[in-house]
Structure 1
Amino acid sequence: MAARPRPYYVDVPLRWSDMDALGHVNNVQYLRLLEEARVIAFADWFEGVDVGPEGRPPLVIARAEIEYLRQLHWRSEPVVVAIWVSHLSGGSFDTSYEVRSSRDADAEIFATAETTQVVFDMTTQRPVRIADAHRQLLEARSGPPVAMRRRRKERR
């Protein structure tokens, strides 16, 4: 894979209902933040490409991993989700994320995450290969996987 490109940034507003009884954004809500960023990013990345009725390849989420780094309290300004492709295989790809306070280099990072998307034929209910045109678009957004503490420890 190429050197990490400038991540694609998505501003995602927080909702008052994202908070839990402890006064911070509930861990489950992070999946929603990632989903909203992913939907916006993929719509932009695949714009104008013949990718099917949904405007992108039909995808299912096969895996989600989140590492919570610091508490995220409700705030009126949106969080920024940095998103990029971190691994491509025959019929799936990984997307890496940082949930950040801003787009600045010194922004607070509240969480890092990675999801695996599988290209899926909804009629046959089976995975399919990533089309060449889609692969090219994903490669243009590719970079190294997001750093996660557990992974760093495993590599020692």
Structure 2
Amino acid sequence: QWSTPFGSGALSQSVAVGAGRVVALGLYCAEAYYAGERRGDERYGAAASDFERFVRDVVASAGVNTPVGVIEAKPDEPLIHLRWGLSGRVPVLFVINEEPRRAVTLQLTGEWARAADHGLRDLIANTTFVAGAASAPEPTDAVTIALPPSPWGVHVLVPAE
């Protein structure tokens, strides 16, 4: 059972709750997406970017902006996972590339663009990467960081100081 429409027949509904919203889905879209990915089923490859776009659009419509993104991601390529947060007061960005031999370019905005003012240092490779200006029509504070392939497909980045 992959799809269970609501009484109205809709597969998704957005309902205001207090100062926020609840987005309810009457289908197992993420499970179908990941099941197809795990099996390498090419039928899911074409829709993979649609699911990711849907999630991104729901989050963006709530006014949430992600400060870190992958510029050249393509739906038919292995995934790049981004995780960011703080270690004490130091911003830390984990970049996990399912294809270690692939370079990746990130776009940073807001606090992460400011954190990259003097570049980002990879704690694993002990290398500093310098930020460059993003091209229009990106947010005006956006910068990019180009990361080369890494032996394990992992970069752990902190502000270079």
TM-score by length of 1: 0.25
Q: Which has the larger radius of gyration?
A: 2
TM-score by length of 2: 0.25
Larger RCO: Structure 1 or Structure 2 (Cα < 8 Å, ≥ 6 residues apart)? 1
